[in-house]
């Protein structure tokens, strides 16, 4: 009798704990979801993402819903401007940006060369981040930089060109006191989930996209707005910190017109060719490897089943 | 079959599983493990270890994937965790095959004399899973005969304590009997010595080949060994590397008498 009641009490307690756990699991994420959607809908803010591939520089004014982490900023730049990227180690490390970097998921395969992560002060200047981008929170007005190069830390790794926020994002779009963010910025930044080139084109009039030489987003970069933004940032650059391989004079590099148009024999061409080669290896051909793999799996499973059946019956 | 041949095979297959998260290389390896197990499993409780480790593998995969739900959940994260879990699961399945086709104590005999004691511990550890499972079945049966129904969590001690006790007793008996028969004393019996039959050589050969090919490719940072999951794309695979994995099924084609 007593044992029996003990069991019921036990099960009741267990079910209560279980119910609490289920409630927590459902309720905990809910406020977070709510708050992000609300923030996204009412005030689009912006953070700058600066990418230095060693041969060219790209800068994006990315609309962010509240606070995101450094990796999410890259994903948002992909959604808004079509920035090519790939991550490794379960989204903890950056393997490729704008077609430059390591193919495959081992982001440090080229080791002395890798994508260095830098955090910028709004006034310009970079500090090396010793913490992964996934654990850095990026708020409105922050500047994040990535540079492809050799060197283990901030002392030896090449820093991206000095880029203050205002040279990437239009001034009215970013300062916090101006709450509405400007109607122009809204047009460019709101396009979170619209097509990549559409977002870039929409952002261009407010100067939020200043992609200088990417072949993918040439349409956006060629529009007149982009040249304004490019013109604004041209004096901020100091090309001297960059690797020798980016050998154009500063002026041609900083030219508002895309590299490929300004100097036809520029370094952008091999980068694009490499990106094409990568795509070709995967998408165009019949996936022979996977088909062979599945065939082999099927045959081995069937063969094993046959052997097992023969042994059992024989 | 020379026990060293199975060690070489299992090490090679394990290296393959360890060096990649690409499902197109891992899935044929599951097939290989099943095929070799079906062809060469021994009679008796040992044969069960394949099924046990298959369940462990699925469990490991499920847990590894479930861990994602403590962080941000999206398709990329879930896929990455599932592939990592698959690698772990395949490793366990390969180990299950090794356990079902070979005798851990036969392997123990190969250990050099000075490593006898660690090797004994390893052999006991290797054999603990199948012994525990069969002990659990026995205890359950006995308790049911006594009218105990082992259903609720409360009755766990009634099951667990005899199982643990049986396991300890069996391990002690085993160790004592091995000592009594002169294991590790230096005089090694030459009765039925292991021979390197053609089948053994082939088994060891494919293990060493597949293991070293995948190890070399991993050291050379072959991109398709660790496929990109963010952005989510279909992984690619080279047919010749799939062929190297399938090569590991060769022992399954060797006649049992030849081993």
User: A174-201: per-residue pLDDT in tens?
Assistant: 444 434 433 333 333 333 333 333 333 3
- pLDDT of B31 strictly over 80: yes
Nearest CA in chain B to A108: B221
Q: What residues of A are in the B interface, CB distance below 8 Å?
A: 7, 10, 75, 78, 85-88, 90-91, 95, 102-106, 109-110, 281-282, 287-290, 292-294, 296-301, 303-305, 307-308, 311
Q: Do A282 and B222 touch (CB under 8 A)?
A: no
Give A44's pLDDT tier (boundaries 50, 70, 90). low
Provide the pLDDT for residue B132. Answer: 79
DSSP 8-state class, residue B41: P
Residue bearing tokens 């304004």: A228
Contact between B64 and B82 under an 8 Å Cβ cutoff? The reply is: yes
Provide the pLDDT for residue A141. Answer: 87
Q: Do B28 and A296 touch (CB under 8 A)?
A: yes
Q: Do A311 and B38 touch (CB under 8 A)?
A: yes
- pLDDT of B59 strictly over 80: yes
Helix B128-145 vs helix B48-66: crossing angle, to nearest 10: 100
- pLDDT of B57 strictly over 70: yes
Minimal CA–CA distance to A93: which of A116, A76, A63, A73?
A116
Query: What is the CB neighbour count within 10 angstroms for residue B84?
Result: 19
Q: Which B residues in the span 32-61 are in contact with A, Cβ-Cβ below 8 Å? A: 32, 34-35, 37-39
Candidate ranges A5-9, A43-47, A201-205; pick with highest mean pLDDT? A43-47
- For A87-90, which contacts have Cβ atoms below 8 Å and span 24 or more sequence positions? A87/B76, A87/B228, A87/B229, A87/B230, A88/B226, A88/B228, A90/B76, A90/B77, A90/B80, A90/B81, A90/B84, A90/B229, A90/B230
Chosen from B38, B50, B74, B80 to mutate, greatest number of chain A CBs within 10 A: B38
For residue B8, give Cα distances in angstroms to A10, A27, B12, B36, B87.
51, 52, 6, 14, 19
Phi and psi at residue A119, to the nearest 5°: -115, 135
Q: Do A300 and B243 touch (CB under 8 A)?
A: no
Between A257 and A86, the higher pLDDT residue: A86
**Distance in Å, alpha carbon of B204 to nearest chain A alpha carbon:** 20
* Predicted complex ipTM: 0.84
**Distance in Å, alpha carbon of A188 to nearest chain B alpha carbon:** 24
Contact between B17 and B91 under an 8 Å Cβ cutoff? The reply is: yes
**Distance in Å, alpha carbon of A296 to nearest chain B alpha carbon:** 6
Phi and psi at residue A63, to the nearest 5°: -75, 130
Residue B20 region, left (φ>0) first, then alpha (ψ -120 to 50), else beta? beta
- pLDDT of A128 strictly over 60: yes
* Residue B239: its H or E element: helix B239-247
Phi and psi at residue A89, to the nearest 5°: 55, 45
Between B137 and B197, the higher pLDDT residue: B197
Range with lowest mean pLDDT among A162-176, B26-40, B200-214: A162-176
Within an 8 Å CB–CB cutoff, is residue B152 touching chain A?
Answer: yes
């Amino acid at each position: 009798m007593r044992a029996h009641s003990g069991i019921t009490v036990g099960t009741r307690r267990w079910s209560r704990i279980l119910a609490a756990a289920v409630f927590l699991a459902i309720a905990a994420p809910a406020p977070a979801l709510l708050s992000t959607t609300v923030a996204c809908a009412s005030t689009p803010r912006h953070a700058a993402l600066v990418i230095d591939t060693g041969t060219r520089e790209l800068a994006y004014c990315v609309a962010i819903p509240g606070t995101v982490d450094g990796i999410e900023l890259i994903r948002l730049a992909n959604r808004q401007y079509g920035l090519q990227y790939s991550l490794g180690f379960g989204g903890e490390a950056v393997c490729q940006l704008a077609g430059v970097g390591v193919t495959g998921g081992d982001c440090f395969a080229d080791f002395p060369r890798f994508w260095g992560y830098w955090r910028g002060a709004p006034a310009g200047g970079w500090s090396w981040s010793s913490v992964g981008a996934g654990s850095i929170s990026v708020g409105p007005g922050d500047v994040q930089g990535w540079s492809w190069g050799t060197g283990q830390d901030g002392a030896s790794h090449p820093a991206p060109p000095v880029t203050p926020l205002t040279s990437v994002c239009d001034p009215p779009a970013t300062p916090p006191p101006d709450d509405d963010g400007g109607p122009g910025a809204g047009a460019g930044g709101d396009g979170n989930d619209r097509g990549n080139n559409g977002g870039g084109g929409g952002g261009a009039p407010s100067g939020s996209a200043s992609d200088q030489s990417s072949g993918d987003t040439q349409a956006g970069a060629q529009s007149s707005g982009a040249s304004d933004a490019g013109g604004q940032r041209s004096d901020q650059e100091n090309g001297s910190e960059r690797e020798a391989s980016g050998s154009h004079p500063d002026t041609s590099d900083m030219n508002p017109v895309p590299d490929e148009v300004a100097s036809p024999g520029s370094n952008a061409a091999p980068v694009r060719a490499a990106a094409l080669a990568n795509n070709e290896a995967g998408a165009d051909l019949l996936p022979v490897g996977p088909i062979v793999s599945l065939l082999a799996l099927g045959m081995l499973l069937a063969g094993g089943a046959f052997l097992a059946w023969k042994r059992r019956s024989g | 079959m020379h026990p060293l041949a199975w060690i070489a095979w299992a090490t090679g297959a394990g290296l393959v599983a360890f060096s990649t998260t690409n499902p197109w290389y891992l899935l044929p390896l599951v097939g290989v493990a099943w095929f070799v197990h079906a062809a060469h499993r021994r009679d008796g409780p040992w044969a069960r270890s394949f099924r046990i480790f298959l369940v462990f593998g699925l469990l490991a995969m499920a847990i590894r994937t479930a861990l994602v739900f403590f962080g941000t959940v999206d398709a990329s994260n879930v896929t990455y965790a599932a592939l990592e879990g698959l690698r772990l699961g395949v490793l366990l399945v390969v180990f299950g095959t090794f356990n079902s086709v070979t005798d851990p104590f036969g392997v123990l005999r190969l250990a050099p004399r000075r490593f006898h004691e660690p090797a004994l511990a390893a052999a006991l550890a290797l054999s603990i899973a199948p012994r525990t499972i069969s002990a659990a079945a026995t205890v359950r049966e006995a308790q049911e005969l006594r009218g105990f129904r082992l259903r609720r969590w409360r009755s766990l001690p009634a099951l667990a304590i005899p199982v643990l006790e049986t396991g300890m007793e069996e391990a002690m008996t085993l160790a004592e009997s091995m000592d009594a028969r002169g294991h590790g004393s230096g005089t090694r019996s030459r009765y039925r010595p292991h021979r390197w039959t053609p089948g053994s050589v082939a088994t060891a050969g494919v293990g060493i080949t597949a293991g070293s090919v995948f190890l070399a490719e991993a050291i050379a940072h072959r991109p398709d060994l660790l496929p990109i999951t963010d952005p989510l794309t279909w992984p690619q695979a080279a047919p010749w590397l799939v062929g190297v994995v399938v090569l590991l099924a060769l022992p399954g084609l060797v006649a049992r008498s030849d081993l």
